[in-house]
Chain A
Amino acid sequence: MAFFFQELVNGVTVGALYALVALGFSMVYGVLKLLNFAHGDLYMVGAFVGYFVIQWFGGPNALTIPVPLLVAIMFVLAGLLTGGLGVAIERFAYRPLRNAPRIAPLITAIGISFFLENAALLLFGAQYRVYNTSDFIPFHAGFSIGSVSVYAVQIMVVVLGVALMVGLRQLVNRTKFGKQMRAVAADTEAAEMLGVNVNFTIAATFFLGSALAGIAGVMAGLLFDTVNNTIGFTAGLYAFTAAVVGGIGSLPGAMLGGLLIGIAQSFVTGYVSSTFTDLIVFGLLIVVMVVRPRGLLGRLQLQKV
């Protein structure tokens, strides 16, 4: 039973991370109907920002500021910088193509992804950078129940992840900006005629989605230690899958999809074999898609004909 709960803890932690990245993916798709394949690379940029913040404040072994303050700065800075980068990408790469055939922004997104990955290679080198989280958040920080151990970083990832998801949901459902966002997602032209500043709304959506990816990148750095210019690909792939399984465009769906994938990976690794993790997890996802093509929480879209 302890093994079951240990795998559950591991799965929920990773799932929260996937969910956070998937949220940004789904938000952007919701307002722009764009599969932003560069989203995973913003996660990579966020992870690098976190790494350099640690170095800036003395490195993991000799921090010059308290750990909570360091972690807060990592999250805030990563969120702001990746959010700003997301806005810049939208402004210079996607906005000029807003009325182009759908394939054009899609290819551009892939191009941006390669651009970011290789720009990071050029700027930061190919070597793997290591957060060495355990040097400033020791392994005994956290708690154990029997043989089930929960690390403080795992708790932080889940709590912060859930808080961000809930906050985003409130923003979308309860605020004027959220209403504008939903209006743009439903019908851009109609929203514009009603006085919604479409460009601002889309840019703000990119900012929020990209910031979430950047924050998730810092979480991943703290949790997994390893940062390099290629980590965005896998994260982006899982986030995309989570968003599709949950119902692309649906924020609760993205959260659910991320958690499901994380937990499924963990249990398949634990109870079957790591050799077959992706085979079984993606096999299950194919079954979900066949049974429910619009995703678990996706809605059927009515189209006027």
Chain B
Amino acid sequence: MRGRSIIAAAALCTLAVAGCGSNSSSSTTAAGGGSKSCVAQIAIEGPLTGPVAVLGQEQLHFAELALKLDNAANKTKITLDQGDTQLNPAQATTVTQQLTANSKIVGVVGPAGSQEVEAVGPLMARAGLAFISGSATNVTLTQGKYPTFFRVVSNDRVQGANDANYIVNTLKPKAVMIVDDQEVYSTGLVGFMTPILKAAGIKVDHESVSQKVTDFSSLVAKVTPATSVVILPWQVASNAQRLGHDLAQQHKKAVIFGTDGLFSPGTFEIAGSYVSAFGPDITAIPADAALVTAAKKYGSFGTFGPPIFAATHVIDEAIASVCKAGQTPSRANVLAAIKQTNEPTSILGQPISFDSHGDNAHGKFFLFKISSAGKYQLVG
């Protein structure tokens, strides 16, 4: 039904070419003070339905929120198109072909997964369309292959090394169990953490379960008394909560160490666990209070929404700067403006600017420990 609506809308738009096209081409000049409004269209690619729709919906809500605030602040009229990738590279490719074919779209937020970025990167590059991910952290994405790709979060090498070094130096386990969730995000982190752990003489039991699995009792039975840390580079926080309950039920003493995908206050609350994150808990930052209140109307949120807010904000500001320079937003000038991004602060609690390959030059990770009351307390 939604597909039919899109087709119908596209048909109407085609019939009214003058109306649909002329608005954006004729409306330019300064945002926030010019006589004409600054009109542009951007899009978000994310898993809006499917197995990880929970992440995609959170990302969509934060993108909408950023757009609303930025439009009000900059007096722009930027609209948001949606593309549902279902975290599937093939689906992401189809969506991207539709987006790149729409010349009015001048920037894209997303996609969510590294595997999707690999699939759509060449298409985006060919179209000269800038795209900023808030969660694709695979190291290889920013090695020059995709010249229009940016990300506001740090990469797996930084997170993997930070987390593994903390485990080695602070938790000092004799043995760990590391369980990937069979996604590129997860296996990539395992690849960076395992050599550091093994080099420190720690026995590593590597296991693997699908994101769709919710029964971890058999896996937990394998946690030996010497295994004092279970490392979960996962993206579904409620699964980690379940695994924590299985540990308690089978009287295992190991603590859980989760990566940024598990940063989810209110969902993952196993006391004594550790979680790393792209930024501080925005619910604990007084400056973000209004944002948190606005975001909570969509329900609880985790770690995937705020980076998308930051990514959307970067594109919005790039469009606004283009308009302020008296130009019509286009893919080329928005891309150039994004490359010049230099935000001294952001919702993530850190500056945002990009290096020559699209990595956030200021990206870093934070580490939290969960208290007995389920609160996330910054420890590193």
A residues neighboring B (CB under 8 Å) = 3, 6-7, 10-11, 13-14, 118, 121, 125-128, 130, 133-134, 139, 144, 147, 149, 151, 220, 223-226, 228-231, 233-234, 265-267, 269-270, 273-275, 277-278
Q: Which residue of B lies closest to A271 (CB)?
A: B222
Q: How far apart sit A42 and B324, CA to CA, in the bound complex (Å)?
A: 55
Chain A CB within 8 A of B221 CB: yes
Residues of A within 8 A of B314 (CB): none
**Judging by beta carbons under 8 Å apart, are A223 and B208 in contact?**
no
**Judging by beta carbons under 8 Å apart, are B218 and A125 in contact?**
no
User: Residues 54-70 of chain B: 1 if any A CB is under 8 Å from the residue's CB, otherwise 0?
Assistant: 10110000000000000
Supplied contacts A10-B218, A128-B237, 20 more A-B pairs, CB within 8 Å: A6-B221, A6-B250, A10-B217, A10-B221, A13-B217, A118-B49, A121-B49, A126-B53, A126-B57, A127-B54, A130-B241, A144-B251, A224-B215, A224-B242, A226-B214, A226-B241, A233-B212, A266-B218, A270-B218, A274-B209
| Nearest CB on B from A4, distance (A) | 10
Interface residue count on the B side (C-beta < 8 Å): 36
For A7, A147, A274, the residue with the greatest tally of chain B CB atoms inside 10 Å of its CB is: A274
**Judging by beta carbons under 8 Å apart, are A139 and B241 in contact?**
no
Residues of A within 8 A of B251 (CB): 144, 147, 149
Chain A CB within 8 A of B355 CB: no
| Nearest CB on A from B305, distance (A) | 12
Chain A CB within 8 A of B18 CB: no
Within 8 A of A (CB), among B56-90: 56-57
| Closest 3 A/B residue pairs (Cβ) | A126-B53, A128-B238, A275-B208
Residues of A within 8 A of B215 (CB): 10, 14, 223-224
B residues neighboring A (CB under 8 Å) = 49-51, 53-54, 56-57, 179, 206-210, 212-215, 217-219, 221-222, 236-239, 241-242, 245, 248-251, 267, 299-300
Q: How far apart sit A7 and B223, CA to CA, in the bound complex (Å)?
A: 12
**Judging by beta carbons under 8 Å apart, are A265 and B218 in contact?**
yes
**Judging by beta carbons under 8 Å apart, are A231 and B214 in contact?**
yes
Residues of A within 8 A of B49 (CB): 118, 121, 126
Q: How far apart sit A265 and B63, CA to CA, in the bound complex (Å)?
A: 41
Residues of A within 8 A of B221 (CB): 3, 6-7, 10, 270
Residues of A within 8 A of B51 (CB): 230, 233
Residues of B within 8 A of A278 (CB): 210
Contact among A225, A229, A230, A270 for B241, CB-based, below 8 A: A225
Q: Which residue of B lies closest to A2 (CB)?
A: B221
Known: A127-B299, A228-B54, A275-B208. A134 touches B218 (CB 8 A): no
Residues of B within 8 A of A223 (CB): 215
Residues of A within 8 A of B56 (CB): 126
Task: List 30 A-B residue pairs with CB atoms under 8 Å apart, sorted by A's residue number.
Answer: A6-B221, A10-B221, A13-B217, A118-B49, A125-B57, A127-B54, A128-B237, A128-B238, A130-B241, A130-B267, A133-B245, A139-B245, A149-B249, A224-B214, A225-B214, A225-B238, A225-B241, A226-B214, A226-B238, A226-B241, A230-B53, A230-B212, A231-B212, A234-B212, A267-B218, A270-B218, A270-B221, A274-B207, A275-B208, A278-B210
**Judging by beta carbons under 8 Å apart, are A126 and B218 in contact?**
no
Q: How far apart sit A220 and B236, CA to CA, in the bound complex (Å)?
A: 17
**Judging by beta carbons under 8 Å apart, are A273 and B207 in contact?**
yes
Contact among A139, A147, A230, A275 for B50, CB-based, below 8 A: A230
Known: A121-B53, A270-B222. A127 touches B239 (CB 8 A): no
Contact among B208, B236, B267 for A274, CB-based, below 8 A: B208
Q: Which residue of B lies closest to A134 (CB)?
A: B245
